[in-house]
Chain A
């Protein structure tokens, strides 16, 4: 089998030169239109080590690995692979060098079977025809070696997310492997599957494969990490030894900026209850019997890992997810199962996390996007006709208030930078009367300057007496902005923290999975 022979050759290399360097990145940079995703990052991967990439959302980890996997090409700097300068032109090219990546977004074809997916793009052929028997045999061999109990003839569509992840990992092992890149691989795995994955990582490590590993979980870093490289806002911060570094030290490296200046001071003066969620469960089981209260004049934070149900909880209240049990009381009225249109009318505004997918109509102008939720109001509507002058006036005023750059409201949203797109998204909730604002990951992919403006914007809304829910995976953000902080974990409410209890240690204790001894 090809993979086995290549693994043994890789291990012989590592035994000859103890610390053989697989990847050597010098001052790598990546510019996307309007953003510097990565600036002057240097990074080294040795054979036989697990190198953890650590940083906040939007720090540039994903950009970095996408360049190593051949998805994107750097705009500056050089990549050396086994001592030779390379240009990784495509995923296929990277694969041919033995570099395989398992991303969070799977690249599986749902309607094909496990074995067909495993060898997609590298099918075994007998002259013109597919050699089905050989395909099956090799698929079985790989799955057995990895210890995955999957039926190779099963269609991928019928597998669970964890099983699909296994297929995705197995794909990396189908051919010569020298670098394995894993992007939060355990996010959807059970404990047992995670253990199995870690055994596997230990095994390939001993064979001289270099592993790049992205995770947010402290316990995993300690368990399998050798070295850690910390990124922040697209810049290289430090590479440290995993054995000698502490959790606190890492978090400081990860977030370490002058935090006092970024976050505004907010005077919390909670008054009557605005939203009261009682024992809410969603039909898909993502939220299980969660209760929560928000008062006017306060910001509550909702923290938790991706998939903890923090976002789903509020989306269910807004009418985006089906509710199976529990009640939602908004401004003294039972609104369980109301339509989104009704919720908007009652003054409940939900700002989605992904502006491209759910927030904005990218090919339309800023003006049209800003007033879209409010066209039914008499301010913008008379005798069934739109009042386009009022519309322009309002959009212009909002653009000036939020300092949109450039200040051109007729420009298509897609031509603005990420931070300015976010401003357009925020402007949408200022076009109508809102009592409760929900901001779901309001600063994803946004630079520090815009971030500060967004925090100020949220603080002002709160000072004016609105109720605010801030859903975020960004720890410093919820720590500094929240009056009360709820932490969710796997669909359950894990903790409610108030006042002095809202600090790094107590939140981290709930936020990351507790260490399994």
Chain B
């Protein structure tokens, strides 16, 4: 009897009387935790075997730093997904933020070379405002004009990208103060890389928002059942608008962190972000139909993608092929989630 048949047989027995076999507990863990812990474990085992440098403290800290940009975007993406939509313009938001922020900062620095801190601040505000604005337009389209999130954010992705290219003529923006890159791109706070610190602070704030405030609860309710939320007196339009605004703003912060790391304003960054951020959420069990998802799992999901990319780099997998792997992982995660739902029906209680 093949393994497959065996597992099916055990599954059939379980549906009538749950047997306490190891396989049963494995199934239970799968249903409870989702596919992510299994994928993580698998990735760690494979990459540890493939490269001696993988499972070292320095490398893992490196993974965390590299992943902090994606983690932020994925957490923002989660808000859009919770309400039953998604945001395909996060890549554009990063690009536009980078270009606008860098241009403003360089201009301010050129005008007042002594006020370094002030020009950095001006740049940050300008960049993040530009990104948040895209989010706000997305929100208005989806919440008020009932444009499908797919079309709205896809359209804005084109609009934002066009603006970013127009502003720069396609060339990188130079001229930001050296201190910006040194502090936020490469610097350390409390012994941790600056982007990690920023990400951790934001993630804690958003964790509180999503789990301990009315607005957070409303995201789940609106995504789970829009009509029921409306009948419960919730302003569904405001909730939808804020979801996209938040998503855009968080992506914009990530965009400024990336700009600091690159030391230039680039219109061509973030192209992979929409896919990778949605992948991180879906692998973490966020439902594409809305209403289901946990922030802490999304953070793990983004770290997982970072881990896989890092592992593949160490194992010298070609970068073009890495894109293939990410796509495949995303699809596997969705299939596994379907299987999980079926299993859940069998193992109920």
Residue contact A368 to B217, C-beta cutoff 8 Å: yes
Residue contact B231 to A363, C-beta cutoff 8 Å: no
A375 at the interface (CB under 8 A from B): yes
A352 CB contacts on chain B under 8 angstroms: 227-228, 231
B348 at the interface (CB under 8 A from A): yes
- Bound-state CA distance A358–B229 (Å) is 8
B233 at the interface (CB under 8 A from A): yes
The number of residue pairs between A and B whose CB atoms lie closer than 8 Å in the complex comes to: 70
- Bound-state CA distance A362–B287 (Å) is 13
Within 8 A of B (CB), among A370-393: 372-373, 375-376, 381, 384-386, 388
* Minimum CB–CB distance for A349 against chain B, Å: 9
Residue contact A362 to B225, C-beta cutoff 8 Å: yes
- The digit string for B204-236, where 1 denotes a CB below 8 A from any CB of A, is 000010001110011011001101111111110
Residue contact B214 to A381, C-beta cutoff 8 Å: yes
B125 at the interface (CB under 8 A from A): no
- Bound-state CA distance A388–B208 (Å) is 12
Within 8 A of B (CB), among A331-368: 340-341, 343-345, 350, 352, 357-364, 368
Residue contact A373 to B291, C-beta cutoff 8 Å: no
* Minimum CB–CB distance for B229 against chain A, Å: 7
Residue contact B213 to A363, C-beta cutoff 8 Å: no
Specify which of B214, B291, B348 is in contact with A361 (CB 8 Å cutoff).
B291
B292 at the interface (CB under 8 A from A): yes
B224 CB contacts on chain A under 8 angstroms: 361-364
Residue contact B214 to A376, C-beta cutoff 8 Å: yes
Within 8 A of A (CB), among B245-304: 287, 291-292
- Bound-state CA distance A359–B221 (Å) is 11
- Bound-state CA distance A341–B234 (Å) is 7
B292 CB contacts on chain A under 8 angstroms: 363
- Bound-state CA distance A344–B233 (Å) is 7
- Bound-state CA distance A362–B217 (Å) is 14
- Bound-state CA distance A386–B216 (Å) is 10
Residue contact A384 to B213, C-beta cutoff 8 Å: yes
* Minimum CB–CB distance for B228 against chain A, Å: 5
Residue contact A341 to B235, C-beta cutoff 8 Å: yes
B218 CB contacts on chain A under 8 angstroms: 375
Residue contact A375 to B228, C-beta cutoff 8 Å: no
Residue of B nearest to A385 (CB): B212
A134 at the interface (CB under 8 A from B): no
Chain B interface residues (CB < 8 Å from chain A): 208, 212-214, 217-218, 220-221, 224-225, 227-235, 287, 291-292, 348
Other contacts beyond A358-B225, A381-B214: 9, CB < 8 A? A344-B232, A345-B233, A361-B228, A361-B291, A363-B292, A364-B224, A372-B221, A375-B214, A386-B213
Task: Enumerate 12 A-B pairs (CB-CB under 8 Å) in ascending A order.
Answer: A320-B231, A344-B232, A352-B227, A357-B227, A358-B231, A361-B220, A361-B291, A364-B291, A372-B234, A373-B232, A373-B233, A415-B348
